[in-house]
Amino acid sequence: MNMKREERTFNTNFILFLLGRVVSDTGTSIQMMIMPLYIIDAGGSAATIGVYSFFSLLPALLVYPFAGVLGDRLNRKTIMVITDFMSAGVIVALGILSYLGMMRISLLLIVQVIISLLNGLFEPATRGMLPQLVDKDALARSNSIVSSTRTAALLLGPVISAALYAGFGITMVFFVNGISFLLSGTSEMMIRYTHVKRQAAGGISGIFNDLLEGIKFILTNNIIRNLCYFFLVIYFIIQPIFSVIIPLFFKTHLQYSDVYYGYLQTIIILGALLGSVSVGFLFGKEGKVSKSLVVGSTLLLSTMLAFSVLIFPRSLLLLGNDTILYFALLAGVLSLFSAANIFISVPVQTYIQRETPNEYMSRVFSLVSMISRGGIPLGALVYGIVLERVEMHWTVLAVALLMLFISVGFVTSLLKHNPEESKTEAKDLLNALFPKVKD
């Protein structure tokens, strides 16, 4: 029985799909990790790094909805292969210009806009394609494996990029990333995939009608709509803790060297990797996603409260802001915090894949990605404004309590609107979060 389950997951198409993602994600991680350092070395400033980060995200967000329409109309495999090959060509060209001494920061920013647009076209197609490569009962395990490999790429990226940049310069970084996209596209070309054509109106009006159909599908499906809201909250409230709170707290309240910050980031990524592997191992065999959501939500709330306690001034006074003990506690909590995010995101993604018809798949995921990732810059902006007026420890504690109330609202909504099977899952989550509450 286990052998058959493994065969349903690790079929040739999925392996080719996974290899393509691993190679391109590693290449992208290598380049993205070294870009801030290169920009500074090339005479750029912190503002330049911010603009680069902005251009890395915004174009993809803008193109996501229309990319979803294309992903449902056209051959998803073809979209993936073409965008990977185009990305390879653009980045290799950048490497050639760098080799010839013609590299400029302005050129780098222009290329980043192009790469972000191509990624925006690629992502909905690949999200929509995965459910057609594995059986439905293997989706949770497959999503866990994809998440694990992407996290591993993030882990390997800084190590490889630092070695390449120190030994060969930025030109080699560009060439390695370009070749990774070339290999990814080649792997995807070998996937055996049959595109199911559907009738669709042509022209601009037809594209907008398709987009409106995708929006309508999400709004009329109570479960998917509520899961999208929950995803938005996770990205809006939780992600800025990693990008804003943690680096700011480390620099302003702790007395560790920058080397320790690198250790902390590595441990956080390892936590995400642990979460990805654990989701597949513990819950990949089951049809329901409730147990993973139970663990993830409970762990998220627990670690947020623990983190808020650790950053209180009295905790720093008691444990010391430069001791091994405090660093170990902080790293352990943040590692579990990172794992909790995976315990939530993987089952939510799996549920949406299971419940969305193939003809809507790319549109739904493009809209979900736009909604959720769009919350990251907005959340960072809100945190920045709040932290100018409120102490950091009170801010994190307030956010933890806010997540508590949001979780209650999320579960209550599921209980009210969902069918009996979903109600059972929601009750499991409610009972896990609040054991003393009775139905």
What mean pLDDT do residues 201-216 have?
Answer: 73
Distance CA 409, CA 403 (A): 10
Q: What are phi and psi of 328, to 5 degrees?
A: -65, -45
pLDDT on residue 232? 78
Which has more confidence, 264 or 375? 264
DSSP letter string over 62-104?
Answer: HHHHHHHHHHHHS-HHHHHHHHHHHHHHHHHHHHHHHHTT---
pLDDT on residue 439? 46
Which DSSP letter does residue 312 get? S
Q: Amino acid identity, residue 105? A: I
What mean pLDDT do residues 256-283 have?
Answer: 80
Residue 215 CB contacts under 8 Å (≥ 6 apart), including other chains: 367
What mean pLDDT do residues 268-275 have?
Answer: 86
Q: Which pair of structure tokens corresponds to residue 338? A: 């990172």
Burial class (CB in 10 A: 0-12, 13-18, 19+), 225: middle
pLDDT band at 4 (very low <50, low <70, confident <90, very high): very low
Mean pLDDT is lowest, of 4-13, 231-240, 348-357, 421-430, for: 421-430
Which has more confidence, 423 or 363? 363
Which has more confidence, 239 or 84? 84
Mean pLDDT is lowest, of 100-114, 169-183, 279-293, 316-330, for: 279-293
Which CATH number does the domain 205-439 belong to among 3.30.70, 1.10.3470, 3.30.450, 1.20.1250?
Answer: 1.20.1250
Tokens 């595109």 belong to 195
pLDDT on residue 93? 93
Q: Are 267 and 402 in contact (CB under 8 A)?
A: no
Dihedral of CA atoms 195, 200, 203, 207 in degrees, nearest 10, equals: -80
Q: Given a cut of 90, is residue 9 above it in pLDDT?
A: no
pLDDT band at 415 (very low <50, low <70, confident <90, very high): low
Q: Are 395 and 387 in contact (CB under 8 A)?
A: yes
DSSP letter string over 209-255?
Answer: HHHHHHHHHHHH-HHHHHHHHHHHHIIIIIHHIIIIIHHHHHHHH--
In b/e form, how buried is each residue of 61-80, taking b as 16+ CB within 10 angstroms? bebbbbbbbbbbbbbbbebb
Distance CA 402, CA 395 (A): 10
Helices (H), 234-323: 239-240, 246-253, 258-283, 290-310, 313-319
What mean pLDDT do residues 299-308 have?
Answer: 89
pLDDT on residue 7? 47
Q: Given a cut of 90, is residue 328 above it in pLDDT?
A: yes
pLDDT digits (tens, 9 = 90+) for 211-234: 788 788 888 877 777 777 777 777
Residue 341 CB contacts under 8 Å (≥ 6 apart), including other chains: 234, 238, 272, 275, 296, 300
pLDDT above 90 covers a percentage of the chain that reads: 13
Q: Which pair of structure tokens corresponds to residue 219? A: 């709004």
Tokens 């040739």 belong to 12
Q: Given a cut of 80, is residue 201 above it in pLDDT?
A: no
pLDDT on residue 427? 54
Mean pLDDT is lowest, of 46-50, 98-102, 169-173, 313-317, for: 46-50
pLDDT band at 6 (very low <50, low <70, confident <90, very high): very low
Largest CA distance in the chain: 70
Q: Given a cut of 80, is residue 361 above it in pLDDT?
A: no
Q: What is the pTM of this model?
A: 0.70
pLDDT on residue 307? 92
| Total residue length of the chain | 439
Q: Which pair of structure tokens corresponds to residue 286? A: 């089951």
Q: Given a cut of 90, is residue 263 above it in pLDDT?
A: no
pLDDT band at 323 (very low <50, low <70, confident <90, very high): very high
What mean pLDDT do residues 433-439 have?
Answer: 48
What mean pLDDT do residues 69-84 have?
Answer: 84
Distance CA 143, CA 131 (A): 9
Q: Given a cut of 90, is residue 89 above it in pLDDT?
A: yes
pLDDT on residue 335? 92
Q: Are 33 and 161 in contact (CB under 8 A)?
A: yes
pLDDT on residue 60? 82
CATH of domain 1-190: 1.20.1250.20
Mean pLDDT is lowest, of 12-26, 171-185, 234-248, 323-337, for: 234-248
What mean pLDDT do residues 18-34 have?
Answer: 81
Q: Is 394 left (phi over 0), alpha (psi -120 to 50) or beta?
A: alpha
pLDDT digits (tens, 9 = 90+) for 129-149: 777 787 777 777 787 788 788
Q: Amino acid identity, residue 398? A: A
Q: Fold identical between 1-190 and 205-439?
A: yes
pLDDT on residue 414? 56
pLDDT digits (tens, 9 = 90+) for 337-354: 988 888 888 777 777 777
Residue ranges per structural domain of the chain: 1-190, 205-439
Q: What are phi and psi of 200, to 5 degrees?
A: -150, 140
